[in-house]
Amino acid sequence: MGIFILYKTILSSGILMLSLLVAMYSTLIERKIAGFFQDRLGPDRAGPWGLLQPMADGIKLFFKEEFMPNTADKFLYILGPSLTMLIALLTSAAIPWGGNLVIGGKEYPLQVADINIGILYIFAIVSIGVYGIMIGGWASNNKYALLGAIRASSQMISYELAMSLAIISVVMMTGSLSLKDIVAQQHGLNWNVWYQPVAFLIFLVCAFAECNRSPFDLPECETELVGGYHTEYSSMKLGFYLFAEYINMFISAAVMATLFFGGYNFPFMDKLALSPNAMAVIGFFVLFTKITFFGFVFMWVRWTLPRFRYDQLMRLGWKVMIPLAILNVVITGIVILIN
């Protein structure tokens, strides 16, 4: 029991560190990629290739003045970014990061919690995420922040529906809500994306909307809302909001890779005939490569597409995504029934 607790502690703190590190360097990579897409070089002054830029940004954010508007609700104002950050970090618990490690004849899964309702857990946590933004925007007592928060909440609620419906077709195929089972079924190259391309597309688009990323970044739409829900935030509270966005991106990429692109599975994995430990390590790196790719897609899309108008966003969500997702579920059901 003691070893079990120790192992889980090490694993969860490792994943926590990993998500924080990835989020930190995502900011640099995002700026680099933005630069390259615009024929620039991006930040390259702090350290070689700008590798110390995230540290510099972090230190800067910590030393900034902690400003709080005098009309703000003090408790909620602090709760907002804390909640956003907490929610962003919680989701990674259910994701299987690799196969099982075997140490001394005992199996140690590279997953913090193999809950049998893994997907439900992730969706439940993600939907709490809207409260962080909503509370922050409301507590700021600023019209732009409030407008941003309202946009964020309605956008996230609308797209969550389509996202969940897209997942239902995957769940129908797999017959399990556990992420571990879903990954295990996609052994080798038997990935879900070949069977459910439409579901993947819907999931991808909805993930952009869920993370408040461009082209759906209306909640923090600079051109009309100053900074959106974090207009009144400064210092590390603002840092938490921005940081949480990158962690969310990382987790969405991980969920996408897990659900549709086989998680830690890779082609010809049976022919290698390696020990389970080696397979687990390779699997982790394979998953990480997939996550990196989707992270790149997130940034790629951001620096390609202009922002949607709000009515376009809502029309796309309710009139296109949800009917399409329902149709996909129905067709999947029929195909399963015939087979």
Partner 1 sequence: MQLISGRSVVVSNKKMTFWEKIYLPAVLNGMRITFSHLFRKKATIRYPEVKREFAEIYRGQHVLKRDEEGRERCTACGLCAVACPAEAITMIAAERKPGEESLYREEKYASVYEINMLRCIFCGLCEEACPKEAIFLTKRIVPSDFERDGFIYGKDKLVEPLDPLKRIDVSKRETKEVLEFKKDKSKRHNQ
Residues of this chain that interact with partner 1 (CB under 8 A) are 35-41, 44, 300-301, 303-305
Query: In this structure, what are the phi and psi dihedrals at residue 101, rounded to the nearest 5 degrees?
Result: -85, 140
Q: How far is the CB of 335 from partner 1 (least distance, A)?
A: 23
Q: How far is the CB of 155 from partner 1 (least distance, A)?
A: 18
Nearer to partner 1, 35 or 69 (CB): 35
Q: To which residue do tokens 């080798």 refer? A: 188
Q: What is the separation, in whole angstroms, between the first and last Cα of the chain? A: 44
The residue among 228, 223, 260 whose CA lies nearest residue 245 is 228
What's the CA gap between 28 and 303, in Å, rounded? 15
The residue among 119, 223, 136, 125 whose CA lies nearest residue 178 is 119
Q: How far is the CB of 36 from partner 1 (least distance, A)?
A: 5
Nearer to partner 1, 62 or 300 (CB): 300
Q: How far is the CB of 226 from partner 1 (least distance, A)?
A: 27
Nearer to partner 1, 274 or 305 (CB): 305
Q: How far is the CB of 315 from partner 1 (least distance, A)?
A: 11
Nearer to partner 1, 7 or 37 (CB): 37
Q: How far is the CB of 63 from partner 1 (least distance, A)?
A: 25
Q: How far is the CB of 30 from partner 1 (least distance, A)?
A: 14
What's the CA gap between 94 and 203, in Å, rounded? 18
Q: How far is the CB of 152 from partner 1 (least distance, A)?
A: 23
Nearer to partner 1, 36 or 62 (CB): 36
Nearer to partner 1, 144 or 298 (CB): 298
Residue 285, CB half-sphere, CA atoms under 13 Å: how many? 5
What's the CA gap between 180 and 258, in Å, rounded? 9
Residue 250, CB half-sphere, CA atoms under 13 Å: how many? 29
Q: How far is the CB of 202 from partner 1 (least distance, A)?
A: 12
Nearer to partner 1, 67 or 300 (CB): 300
Which two tokens mark 205? 């688009």
Give me the amino acid identity at 339: N
Show Cβ contacts of residue 321 under 8 Å, excluding neighbours closer than 6 positions.
159, 162, 202, 205, 206
Which two tokens mark 106? 């005992």
Nearer to partner 1, 44 or 114 (CB): 44
Which two tokens mark 327? 């149709």
Nearer to partner 1, 42 or 263 (CB): 42
